[in-house]
């Protein structure tokens, strides 16, 4: 370990059991042993998934917090595009029942045939869905224009989480935009992940649950 003198920033080699102070470098296992703690009693805060977060989580069983510098700006942009996202959601909700009706009629046409009125309805549905697709595409382009033109959002790839977001959630216990985000919480705060509904649990999406 190197012990840091907070008065002038100088560092000196340190050997022996750790005492209160500021240190640089060192050995994670010795640090854990000298503090008489279990790995999950220690929170490590870093900004690199593979350089420190992954290793300390897997090898030392430390709790890990990931600092994602781009996150604060991304959250601000999410607020900007909220009306656009709401419009996209509204258009998609309007499109879904049309698609379901279209699929039903086309299936009937293939399997047993349809009446002239139903054939007309199929063409009407195609036109309506096409118009909605144009409107949705326009709103998506507006949404994307608020983010990086090369790789888009940091934490999302379309409707799915990005690979970076997947890695962050997999290896970091919590993540934040900057270290200062923790200052409003007590050291005894217990962070709980919200329950994520699975596809079969979403009301009315696959089965009409509860009906």
179-200 pLDDT, tens per residue?
Answer: 999 988 998 888 888 888 887 7
- 160 phi and psi angles, rounded to 5 deg: -95, 160
Domain ranges for the chain, please list them.
2-69+166-190, 71-153
Q: What is the pLDDT of residue 204?
A: 56
Q: What is the pLDDT of residue 52?
A: 86
Q: What is the pLDDT of residue 79?
A: 95
Q: Which two tokens stand for residue 25?
A: 């470098």
Q: What is the pLDDT of residue 130?
A: 97
Q: What is the pLDDT of residue 199?
A: 79
Architecture of the domain whose range is 2-69+166-190: 3-Layer(aba) Sandwich (3.40)
Q: Is the pLDDT of residue 60 over 70?
A: yes
SS3 66: strand
The per-residue pLDDT of the chain, averaged, comes to 90
Percent of the chain with pLDDT over 90: 67
For the stretch 92-106, pLDDT in tens is 999 999 999 999 999
Give the residue, 202 or 170, on which the prediction is more confident. 170
Q: Is the pLDDT of residue 208 over 80?
A: no
Side by side, the strands of the sheet bearing 63-67 are 43-46, 63-67, 174-176
Mean pLDDT throughout 144-162?
90
Contacting residues for 196 by C-beta, under 8 A, at least 6 apart: none
Q: What is the pLDDT of residue 211?
A: 41
Mean pLDDT throughout 26-31?
90
How many whole angstroms separate alpha carbon 99 and alpha carbon 104?
Answer: 9
Give the residue, 36 or 200, on which the prediction is more confident. 36
Mean pLDDT throughout 150-167?
90
Architecture of the domain whose range is 71-153: Up-down Bundle (1.20)
How many whole angstroms separate alpha carbon 86 and alpha carbon 115?
Answer: 38
How many whole angstroms separate alpha carbon 39 and alpha carbon 32?
Answer: 7
Q: What is the pLDDT of residue 4?
A: 95
Q: How confident is the model at residue 158 (pLDDT cuts 50, 70, 90)?
A: confident
């Amino acid at each position: 370990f190197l012990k840091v003198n907070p008065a002038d920033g100088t560092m000196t080699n340190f050997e022996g059991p750790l005492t209160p102070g500021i240190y640089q470098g060192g050995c994670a296992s010795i640090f854990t042993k000298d503090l008489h703690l279990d790995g999950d009693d220690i929170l490590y805060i870093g900004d690199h998934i593979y350089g420190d977060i992954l290793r300390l989580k897997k090898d030392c069983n430390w709790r890990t917090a990931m600092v994602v510098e781009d996150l604060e700006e991304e959250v601000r942009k999410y607020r900007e595009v909220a009306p656009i996202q709401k419009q996209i959601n509204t258009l998609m909700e309007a499109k879904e029942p049309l698609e379901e009706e279209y699929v039903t009629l086309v299936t009937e046409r293939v399997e047993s045939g349809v009446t002239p009125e139903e054939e007309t309805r199929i063409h009407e549905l195609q036109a309506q869905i096409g118009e909605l697709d144009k409107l949705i595409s326009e709103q998506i382009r507006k949404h994307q224009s608020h983010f990086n033109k090369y790789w888009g959002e940091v934490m999302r790839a379309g409707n799915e989480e990005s690979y970076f977001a997947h890695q962050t959630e997999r290896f970091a216990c919590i993540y934040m935009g900057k270290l200062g985000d923790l200052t409003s919480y007590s050291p005894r705060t217990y962070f709980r992940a919200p329950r994520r509904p699975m596809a079969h649990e979403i009301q009315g999406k696959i089965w009409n649950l509860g009906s």
